[in-house]
């Protein structure tokens, strides 16, 4: 599981930071989370193929999270896309999106499967071969949703010496890796735990933006390996954060601490913060394993180095 940050700015982009957009790669399947202005240019810069994007998740209907989608869809169409695209977004966005396509005379050569988000509780919205995705409500000025991506348990690893010792046929190995016992020709049963070891632990990633701090959030992302949490403002601007429905660096750190997250990435930085080192320092006072999102950087979810 790898995460590429395409944009880490808030409403006003800067020359170093684009508006919100992330790409999560799981077993070479790509999931785009939010699509701020300039996302398709960032996809090109980071050599991410448009055609491999089959799932797009929109957290809420504010421009810095969605303005890039119209151009991206148009480009996909011009490139001859025919495969269905799954779009997960607040329920009201369906009308907005299709009205835009109609107004600009964009006739797509592919279908969009729209999955509306409108629940006040966590809901599993995707369940595929390798992972599940759960949406959950955030607390912002308008309906906003976070997303939790969890890998499914991986197959066990069969021991090479066990294959040789029990002369296990290749055809039987897949079932054993799934947890099955091995039955020898004599009828003797060799327990799975004697011939396998656990595979790598499944990984998880949560995206929380835009939101202000609220206690219940930690229960939605409990024990997540990597938590991305917006930190629009420095700690001294807490009143402004609450007024605008955003979080400070210390708000994000509190959420990570309460969720017992593995690592915290903060982002969605206000353009007033030219340098965000002090935001990271503020967060680390509460949650030491904190880093700042950097546009164009790819993170290995299970192996993040925190200086």
**Residues with catalytic annotation?**
64
Burial 46-55 (b: 16+ CB within 10 A, else e): eebeeeebeb
Long-range contacts of 152-157 (CB under 8 A, 24+ apart): 152/202, 153/199, 153/202, 154/199, 154/200, 154/201, 154/202, 155/199, 156/192, 156/196, 156/197, 156/198, 156/199, 157/196, 157/197, 157/198, 157/199
Distance, CA of 175 to CA of 182 (rounded, Å): 9
The tokens for 50 are 């448009």
Residue 212 burial (CB count, 10 A): 22
> Residue 5 forms beta bridges with which residues?
22
Distance, CA of 50 to CA of 42 (rounded, Å): 11
Contact criterion met (CB below 8 Å) for 71 and 40:
yes
> Residue 290 forms beta bridges with which residues?
264
Contact criterion met (CB below 8 Å) for 270 and 243:
no
Distance, CA of 145 to CA of 90 (rounded, Å): 8
């Amino acid at each position: 599981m790898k995460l590429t940050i395409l944009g880490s700015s808030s409403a006003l982009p800067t020359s170093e930071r684009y508006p919100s957009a992330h790409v999560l790669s799981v077993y070479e399947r790509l999931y785009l989370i939010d699509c701020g202005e300039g996302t398709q240019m960032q996809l090109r810069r980071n050599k991410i193929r448009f055609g491999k994007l089959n799932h797009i998740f929109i957290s809420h209907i504010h421009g810095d999270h969605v303005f890039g989608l119209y151009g991206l869809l148009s480009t996909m169409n011009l490139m001859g896309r025919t495969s269905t695209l799954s779009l997960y977004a607040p329920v009201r966005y369906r009308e907005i999106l299709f009205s835009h396509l109609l107004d600009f005379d964009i006739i797509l050569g592919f279908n969009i499967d729209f999955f509306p988000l409108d629940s006040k509780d966590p809901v599993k919205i995707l369940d595929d071969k390798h992972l599940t995705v759960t949406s959950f409500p955030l607390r912002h000025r308008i309906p906003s949703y976070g997303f939790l991506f969890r890998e499914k348990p991986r197959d066990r690893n069969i021991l090479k010496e066990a294959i040789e010792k029990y002369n296990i046929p290749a055809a039987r190995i897949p079932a054993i890796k799934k947890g099955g016992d091995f039955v020898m020709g004599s009828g003797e049963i060799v327990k799975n735990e004697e011939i396998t070891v656990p595979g790598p632990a499944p990984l998880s990633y949560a995206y929380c933006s835009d939101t202000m701090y609220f206690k219940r959030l930690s229960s939605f992302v409990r024990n997540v390996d990597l938590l991305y949490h917006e930190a629009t403002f420095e700690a001294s601007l807490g009143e402004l954060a609450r007024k605008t429905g955003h979080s400070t660096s210390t708000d994000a750190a509190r959420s990570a601490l309460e969720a017992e997250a593995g690592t915290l990435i903060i982002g969605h930085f206000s353009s007033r913060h030219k340098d965000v080192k002090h935001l990271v320092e503020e967060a680390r006072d509460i949650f030491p394993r904190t880093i700042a999102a950097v546009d164009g950087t790819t993170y290995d979810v299970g192996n993040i180095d925190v200086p």
